[in-house]
């Protein structure tokens, strides 16, 4: 005879579907992909020269090509490249809002902040003698001499 | 005469990037000795680092009232004037660089102002002098690299940025620029290596992981892209862009049904995204669901007729069905918004060729051949050959 269920223990829940490492629900084995290799080739939509512009990487899915007949020739048509970032659908001039509490990284702003940090982190003295600093008017030799044991 | 300045410890804090704490310490020291020049200069620097020009100005004037030839203070004041729209202040900045005693800030301020004015040549001279004055300034290296990148001298930019990365090891910006320069050189793998190295010290940096996804995909290393996309989703589970990047990386790795699954989940959060709907339609097509894919593309094109990806995919579907006129219509509509889009131009050349307009096809294919995307350029060159 089966032991009575412990009323203090919660009832056993049905097994949850397997999740991938990223938290996605696992895909059922029946839905496993058996189509052509997508053969993704990535490229830059525009040259990456401008240092204040984001990289615009796109992915061409060249698997299962669609050839187009021109006269007697077969030439592959090119599907639209898939972008590597979502389109934000923002009105012109509007900036993206933070998602999930994380601030949005803006390259231009980051460049300005980085530049301005030069005023803080520059390793040059203030142009006046310092009493307690590496920029003291004392030479390295003088400082070392100060630390040496004094002659009796 | 006043004794030596007590600014040393606060200056050290400032150099470590602890600007707020340093500013507080300078203020306290100035309360004890209002004539401490070192503290005045230090506090002015802290204000400049936070763009608090109005607070820096009186301090700098005070420095000049005690030491009228203090080059740094003169330079900062002229720089603030220039930022406030006083164009002749640029001449003062230039003149200060000619002094035998000119130091780092005289050159740095002049270089920055010249760059803002558009005098790249003059800016480069000033910034090179600033580099000589402080070899360990990552900001000067980045400024010089930006100028090299603007001119297309990516090798020189890479050399400067490599040093900047070492000097500012906890800041993602130099690495982002370095990977961009490598990508522009067609050496995305080196870019991925640099980003990977930076991620060892900044594992929670979202901009670095985003860049890792981009450069790894460019380099043909989708597994690395997947790893960073997963990291991004762990950093911010609510951002649909990160789920989308994950799906693209999975697609690049050949994991089509997994990518579709992620895209379907993201579509619930971003139902209007054309990029997402286009990628989803591509997975549907790969899985043999052509009608479903076409319906999704047509629906998306109604809302966003100018979207280049959706227009190109629709055009290919129409061309496959033998309807060159319909293909031309969607492509021309999208080209109104993106007149130089390489894939749109290439497909339009095909559609024109199929409709018998060889001259139009040749002219359009020639435009597509100029693309920086090697795949489009190669296919356009092939099409031009076929067109004769």
**Is the predicted pLDDT of residue B84 greater than 80, yes or no?**
yes
Whether B218 has its CB under 8 Å from any CB of chain A: the answer is yes
The CA distance from B199 to A134, in Å, is 32
Window 12-31 of A, Cβ < 8 Å to B: 20-25, 27, 31
Q: What is the mean pLDDT of residues B286-303?
A: 94
Question: Residue B279's closest CA among B307, B298, B306, B259?
Answer: B259
Three-class SS of residue A15?
Answer: coil
Please compute the mean of the pLDDT values over residues B271-291 and round it to a whole number. 93
Interval B286-290 mean pLDDT: 92
A138 part of contact set with chain B, CB < 8 Å:
no
Asked whether the beta carbons of B199 and B176 are under 8 A apart, the reply is no
Q: Is residue A29 predicted with pLDDT exceeding 60?
A: no
Q: Are B182 and B158 in contact (CB under 8 A)?
A: yes
Distance CA B358, CA B293 (A): 31
Instruction: Write out chain B in H/E/C secondary structure.
Output: CCCCECCHHHHHHHHCCCHHHHHHHHHHHHHHCCCCHHHHHHHHHHHHHCCCHHHHHHHHHHHHHHCCCCHHHHHHHHHHHHHCCCCCHHHHHHHHHCCCCCCHHHHHHHHHHHHHHCCHHHHHHHHHHHHHHCCCCHHHHHHHHHHHHHHCCHHHHHHHHHHHHHHCCCCHHHHHHHHHHHHHCCCHHHHHHHHHHHHHHCCCCHHHHHHHHHHHHHHCCHHHHHHHHHHHHHHCCCCHHHHHHHHHHHHHCCCHHHHHHHHHHHHHHCCCCHHHHHHHHHHHHHCCCHHHHHHHHHHHHHHCCCCHHHHHHHHHHHHHCCCHHHHHHHHHHHHHHCCCCHHHHHHHHHHHHHCCCHHHHHHHHHHHHCCCCHHHHHHHHHHHHHHC
Name which of A78, A122, A129 is nearest B105 (Cβ-Cβ).
A122
Chain B residues 283-302 within an 8 A CB cutoff of chain A: 285-288
Mean pLDDT of B245-257: 94
**CB < 8 Å to A123, chain B:** 15, 134, 136-137
Residue B311: which of B336, B334, B342, B283 has the closest Cα? B334
Predicted pLDDT at B313:
95
pLDDT digits (tens, 9 = 90+) for B353-371: 999 999 999 999 999 998 8
B381 to chain A, any CB pair closer than 8 A? The answer is no
Is A23 a residue whose pLDDT tops 70?
A: no
Residue A124 predicted with pLDDT over 70: yes
In a 3-state reduction of DSSP, which class is residue A2? coil
- Which is more confident, A95 or B123? B123
At residue A6, the pLDDT reads: 57
Residue of A nearest to B103 (CA): A124
Residues of A in contact with B133 (CB under 8 A): 124
The torsion angles phi and psi of A19, rounded to 5 degrees, stand at: -115, 150
pLDDT at B332 over 90: yes
Record: contact B139-A85, CB cut-off 8 A:
no
Distance CA B42, CA A132 (A): 14
Q: Does position B246 have pLDDT exceeding 80, yes or no?
A: yes
Please check whether residue B27 touches A, CB under 8 A. no
Q: Does residue B42 carry a pLDDT above 70? A: yes
Containing H/E element for A61?
strand A57-61
| Structure confidence by residue, pLDDT tens digits, B115-165 | 999 999 999 999 999 999 999 999 999 999 999 998 989 999 999 999 999
Of the candidates B180, B181, B239, which has its C-beta nearest A99's C-beta?
A: B239
Span A37-76, pLDDT tens digits: 788 888 787 665 566 667 788 888 877 678 888 878 888 9
Best mutation site among A49, A51, A104, A116 for testing chain B: the one with the most B CBs within 10 Å?
A51
pLDDT for the residue B323:
92
Contact between chains at B108 and A36 (C-beta distance less than 8 A): no
pLDDT of residue A12: 52
What pLDDT is attached to residue B30?
A: 95
Q: Which residue has the higher pLDDT, A92 or B25?
A: B25
CA gap B364, B328 in Å, rounded: 12
Percent above pLDDT 70 for chain B: 99
Identify the band that residue A92 occupies on the pLDDT scale cut at 50, 70 and 90: low
The 8 Å CB, 24+ separation contacts for B122-130 are: B122/B94, B123/B147, B126/B97, B129/B97, B129/B102, B130/B104
B90 close to B113: Cβ distance less than 8 angstroms = yes
CA B188, distance to chain mean position in Å, is: 15
How many whole angstroms from its chain centre is CA B296?
33
Please state, rounded to an integer, the average pLDDT across all residues of chain B.
Answer: 94
- Asked whether the predicted pLDDT for residue B377 surpasses 60, the reply is yes
pLDDT score of A24: 53
């Amino acid at each position: 005879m089966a032991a009575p269920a412990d009323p203090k223990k919660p009832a056993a829940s049905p097994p949850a579907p397997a999740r991938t490492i990223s938290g996605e629900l696992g895909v059922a084995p029946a839905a496993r992909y058996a189509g052509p290799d997508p053969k993704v080739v990535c490229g830059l939509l525009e040259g990456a020269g401008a240092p204040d512009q984001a990289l615009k990487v796109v992915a061409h899915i060249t698997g299962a090509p669609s050839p187009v007949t021109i006269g007697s020739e077969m030439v592959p048509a090119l599907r639209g490249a898939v972008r590597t970032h979502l389109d934000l659908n923002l009105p012109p001039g509007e900036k993206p809002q933070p998602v999930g509490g994380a601030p949005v990284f803006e390259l231009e702003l980051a460049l300005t902040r980085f530049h301005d940090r030069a005023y803080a982190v520059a390793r040059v003295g203030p142009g006046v003698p310092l009493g307690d600093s590496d920029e003291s008017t004392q030479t390295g030799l003088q400082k070392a001499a100060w630390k040496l044991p004094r002659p009796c | 005469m006043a004794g030596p300045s007590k600014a040393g410890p606060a200056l050290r804090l400032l150099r470590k990037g602890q600007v707020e704490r340093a500013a507080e310490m300078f203020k306290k020291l100035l309360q004890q000795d209002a004539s401490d020049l070192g503290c005045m200069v230090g506090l002015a620097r802290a204000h400049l680092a936070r763009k608090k020009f109005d607070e820096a100005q009186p301090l700098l004037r005070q420095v000049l009232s005690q030491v009228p030839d203090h080059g740094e203070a003169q330079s900062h004041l002229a720089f603030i004037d220039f930022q406030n729209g006083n164009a002749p202040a640029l001449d003062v900045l230039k003149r200060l660089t000619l002094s035998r005693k000119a130091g780092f800030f005289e050159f740095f301020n002049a270089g920055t102002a010249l760059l803002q004015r558009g005098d790249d040549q003059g800016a480069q001279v000033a910034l090179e002098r600033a580099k000589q004055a402080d070899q360990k300034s990552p900001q000067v290296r980045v400024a010089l690299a930006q100028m090299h990148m603007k001119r297309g001298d990516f090798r020189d930019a890479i050399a400067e940025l490599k040093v900047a990365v070492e000097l500012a090891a906890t800041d993602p910006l130099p690495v982002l620029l370095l990977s961009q320069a490598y990508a522009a050189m067609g050496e995305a793998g080196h870019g991925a290596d640099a980003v990977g190295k930076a991620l060892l010290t900044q594992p929670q940096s979202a901009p670095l992981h985003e860049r890792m996804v981009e450069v790894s995909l460019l380099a043909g290393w989708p597994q690395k892209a997947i790893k960073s996309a997963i990291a991004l989703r762990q950093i911010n589970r609510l951002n649909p862009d990160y789920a989308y990047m994950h799906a693209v990386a999975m697609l690049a790795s050949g994991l089509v049904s997994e990518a579709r699954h992620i895209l379907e989940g993201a579509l619930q959060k971003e139902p209007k995204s054309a990029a997402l709907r286009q990628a989803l339609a591509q997975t549907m097509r790969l899985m043999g669901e052509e009608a479903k894919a076409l319906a999704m593309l047509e629906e998306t094109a109604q809302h966003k007729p100018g979207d280049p990806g959706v227009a190109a995919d629709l055009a290919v579907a129409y061309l496959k069905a033998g309807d060159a006129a319909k293909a031309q219509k969607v492509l021309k509509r999208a080209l109104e918004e993106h007149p130089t889009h390489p894939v749109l131009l290439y497909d339009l050349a095909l559609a024109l060729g199929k409709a018998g307009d060889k001259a139009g096809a040749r002219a359009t294919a020639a435009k597509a051949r100029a693309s920086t995307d090697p795949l489009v350029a190669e296919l356009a060159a092939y099409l031009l050959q076929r067109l004769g």
